[in-house]
Amino acid sequence: MRSYSLFRKDFSSEIRTRYAINSLAMFIIVAISVILFSIGNESIPAILAGGLFWVVIFFSAMSGLSRAFVSEEERGTTLTLQLIASPSTVFSGKLLFNLVLVFAMNTVISLLYSALFEEFVIKNFVLFLLTFILGNIGLGVSSTIIAAIIAKAGAKGTLYPVLSFPILLPLILTSVKLTEYAMDGTSIEDSIFELAIVGSYDVVMFSASYMLFDFIWKD
């Protein structure tokens, strides 16, 4: 319940400034239009379209998701937060906020992407939906814990993608594979192994982040 009130606080301050939402929305448009310009009138293979989809998701996530903790450091509100809430509350509240942000961002990306890329046709929609949900959870969890590290390291913006990429690599590689399967129309039974990988990645990263957050948060 307390993490929900932390989420509400983040949400209302985000609605007030609209910093993360604006930068995310603009970044999505910029990234997709760069890809569209570079393709021109050529038609790209379906596999490439599926891969580029995750490229857009990765870089958009890197542009906006570090805000959760960096904004606290910038405003100097970290100490207050340390006084009024336990580390686990802070982590789950921030995680909730980042998950909402990731889901909103990726829904927009998927809609724009499927509207703008004719090659991006999903044949197995249920598989794509499962990939989308599991992949977003993993992305949200990993980006939250790395954002906490970055904020404590002095809010180095350039360091965020550098630290996140190796952590997110298994997730992205598997999700690209799963998106490819969804575009081929492979059945869920045939891709259960990859789905299990993404699911276990989510569980492992969530439990590791939840336990290690104490050490980052307490000075």
Partner 1 sequence: MIWKIFLFLLLSFVSVAGIIFPIVENPSRWYEFPLIPGLEENAKIIFFHVPTAWIAVLAFLMSTIYGIKYLRKKDLNDDAKSYTAAQLGIIFCILATVTGAVWAKFAWGSFWNWDPRQTSIFALLLIYGAWFALRSSIEAEEKRAALSAVYSIIAFFTVPFFIFIMPRIMAGLHPGSADDTNAGPVVDFKMNSNMQLIFFLSLIGFTILYFWMWNIGSKSIIYRDSLNKSYLKG
Residue 51 in contact with partner 1, rule: CB under 8 A: no
Which are the contacts of 145, defined by CB distance < 8 A and separation ≥ 6?
A: 205, 208, 209, 212, 213, 216
* DSSP one-letter code for 185: T
Using CA atoms, how far apart are residues 8 and 53, in angstroms rounded to an integer?
Answer: 30
Applying CB under 8 A, which of residues 162, 188, 190, 192 lies at the interface with partner 1? 162
Closer of 123 and 156 to partner 1 (Cβ):
156
Closer of 66 and 109 to partner 1 (Cβ):
66
Closer of 41 and 158 to partner 1 (Cβ):
158
Residue 47 in contact with partner 1, rule: CB under 8 A: no
Which are the contacts of 196, defined by CB distance < 8 A and separation ≥ 6?
A: none
Residue 166 in contact with partner 1, rule: CB under 8 A: yes
Three-class HEC string of 116-151: HCCCCCCCCHHHHHHHHHHHHHHHHHHHHHHHHHHH
List the interface residues with partner 1, window 178-207 (CB under 8 A).
Answer: 193-194, 197, 201, 204-205
In residues, how long is the chain? 219
For residue 209, which amino acid is it? S
Task: Name the packing angle between helices 46-64 and 125-152 (round to 10°).
Answer: 30
Which pair of structure tokens corresponds to residue 87? 């580390």
Binding mask 120-159 for partner 1 (x = CB under 8 A): -------------------------x---x--xxx-x--x
Closer of 24 and 177 to partner 1 (Cβ):
177
* Residues making contact with partner 1 (CB under 8 A): 145, 149, 152-154, 156, 159, 162-163, 165-167, 169-170, 173-174, 177, 193-194, 197, 201, 204-205, 208-209, 212, 215-216, 219
